[in-house]
Chain A
Amino acid sequence: MTVEASSLDDKFQYQFGPEQEELRQLRRTRDQLVQIMDSLPGLVGYVDLELKIVYANKLIETWYQRSRSELVGMQLKTLFSDEHYQTVETLLQRVLSGDEINEEREISYPDGVTRMVHLNYIPDRGEAGVNGYFFLVRDVSQRHQAEVALKQANELLDRKVRAATLELEQRNRELQNENTARRNSEERYRIVSELMSDLIYVYQIDADGSMKTVWQTGRLSEEFSPTYTADGHHRLWRPIIHPDDAQVLDSRIERLLQNQSSIDEFRVIDDNGDTRWLRAYGRPIWSEAQQRVVQIMVATQDITATKIAEQLLERNRQMLAAALESMSEGFMLFDENGELVEFNEKLKELFPKTASHFVKGVSFEELLRQSAISGEVKGAQHDPEQWVAERLKKFPSESGSVEVELSDGRWILSTDRPTRGKGVVGIRTDITERKQAEKRHRRQEAELAQVLRRASMGEMASALAHELSQPLAVVVNYANGLLRRLDESPVNIDSAREALTNINKAGQRAKDIINHVTDFVRLGKPEVRVESFDSMIEDVHEMLRDRLERNGIYLDKSLGPEETEVEVNKIEIKQVLFNLISNSIESLQQSDSEECRIGIECENSDGEFLTVKVRDNGPGIDGSVIQTLFEPYVTTKSEGLGMGLSICRTIIEAHGSRLWYEADDAPGACLCFRLPLANCDHD
Chain B
Amino acid sequence: MTESGTATVHIVDDEQDVCQSVRYLVESIGLQACCYASASQFFEEYKDQGPGCLILDLRMPGISGLEALELIAEKPINEPVIVVTGHGDVPAAVRALKLGAIDFIEKPCNDNLLIQKINHALELDSSNRAERVRTESITKAYHSLTERERDVLRLLVAGNSNKEVARALNVSPKTVERHRANIMRKLDVGSFAELVRDFSVLNH
Contacts and interface: CB of A to CB of B under 8 A. Distances in A.
Interface of A: 465-466, 469-482, 484-485, 495, 498-499, 502, 505-506, 509, 534-535, 538-539, 542-543, 545-546, 549-550
Contacts of A495: 24
A476 B28 CA distance: 13
19 contacts: A465-B87, A469-B86, A473-B21, A474-B20, A476-B109, A476-B110, A476-B111, A477-B22, A478-B25, A479-B111, A480-B28, A502-B20, A506-B17, A534-B61, A542-B64, A543-B59, A545-B58, A545-B66, A546-B91
Interface in B31-82: 58-61, 64, 66
B111 A480 contact: yes
A482 B28 contact: yes
B131 interface: no
B29 interface: yes
Contacts of A542: 58-61, 64
Contacts of B95: 546, 549
B108 A485 contact: no
Contacts of A550: 91
A470 B20 contact: no
B84 to A, nearest CB: 9
B24 A499 contact: yes
Interface in B146-164: none
A32 to B, nearest CB: 174
Contacts of A539: 59
A487 to B, nearest CB: 9
Contacts of A469: 86-87, 107-108
Contact of A474 (B18, B64, B86): B18
Nearest to B111: A480
B159 to A, nearest CB: 48
A481 B112 CA distance: 10
B61 A470 contact: no
B177 interface: no
B59 A477 contact: no
Interface of B: 15, 17-18, 20-22, 24-29, 58-61, 64, 66, 86-87, 89, 91-92, 95, 107-112, 114
A324 B166 CA distance: 122
A338 to B, nearest CB: 76
B28 A470 contact: no
Nearest to B108: A473
Given A481-B25, A535-B61, A542-B64, A473 B92 contact: no
Contact of B28 (A466, A475, A484, A543): A484
A474 B21 contact: yes
Contacts of A499: 24
Q: Which of B28, B58, B95, B110 is packed against the most chain A CB atoms within 10 Å?
A: B28
A494 B86 CA distance: 32
A498 B24 contact: yes
B29 A471 contact: no
A60 B52 CA distance: 185
Interface residue SS majority, chain A: helix
A506 B15 CA distance: 12
A470 B91 contact: no
A608 B26 CA distance: 47
B107 A470 contact: yes
A92 to B, nearest CB: 152
Q: Which of B21, B92, B110 is packed against the most chain A CB atoms within 10 Å?
A: B21
Given A469-B107, A484-B29, 10 more contacts: A470-B15, A470-B108, A473-B18, A474-B21, A481-B26, A484-B25, A542-B60, A542-B61, A545-B66, A545-B92
A473 B111 contact: no
B107 A546 contact: no
Given A469-B108, A476-B108, A481 B21 contact: yes
Contacts of B87: 465, 469
A164 B89 CA distance: 129
A352 B66 CA distance: 79
A2 B19 CA distance: 187
B55 to A, nearest CB: 11
Contacts of B15: 470
A476 B17 CA distance: 12
A471 B64 contact: no
Contacts of B20: 474, 502
A543 B107 CA distance: 13
Nearest to A465: B87
A482 B27 CA distance: 10
Contacts of A470: 15, 17-18, 107-108
Contact of A477 (B24, B66, B91): B24
Nearest to A549: B95
Contact of A481 (B28, B58, B91): B28
A137 to B, nearest CB: 154
Contact of A538 (B26, B27, B61): B61
Contacts of A478: 21, 24-25
A533 to B, nearest CB: 12
Contacts of B92: 545-546
Contacts of B59: 539, 542-543, 545
A92 B201 CA distance: 189
B75 to A, nearest CB: 22
Contacts of B21: 473-478, 481, 502, 506
Contacts of B66: 545
Contact of B109 (A466, A473, A546): A473
B187 to A, nearest CB: 46
Contacts of B89: 546
A546 B94 CA distance: 11
Contacts of A481: 21, 24-28, 111
A535 B112 CA distance: 32
A419 B60 CA distance: 74
A565 to B, nearest CB: 15
Ranked nearest first, the 10 interchain pairs of A and B with the lowest CB-CB distance are A480-B111, A477-B21, A473-B108, A542-B59, A484-B28, A538-B61, A481-B25, A481-B28, A481-B24, A474-B21
A505 B28 CA distance: 20
A539 B58 CA distance: 12
A344 B17 CA distance: 81
B30 to A, nearest CB: 9
Contacts of A466: 86
Nearest to B106: A469
Nearest to B114: A477
Nearest to A488: B28
B146 to A, nearest CB: 53
A471 B87 CA distance: 14
Contact of B107 (A473, A509, A545): A473
A485 B26 CA distance: 11
A474 B109 CA distance: 9
A477 B23 CA distance: 9
Contacts of A545: 58-59, 64, 66, 92
A47 to B, nearest CB: 159
Q: Which of B17, B89, B92, B111 is packed against the most chain A CB atoms within 10 Å?
A: B17
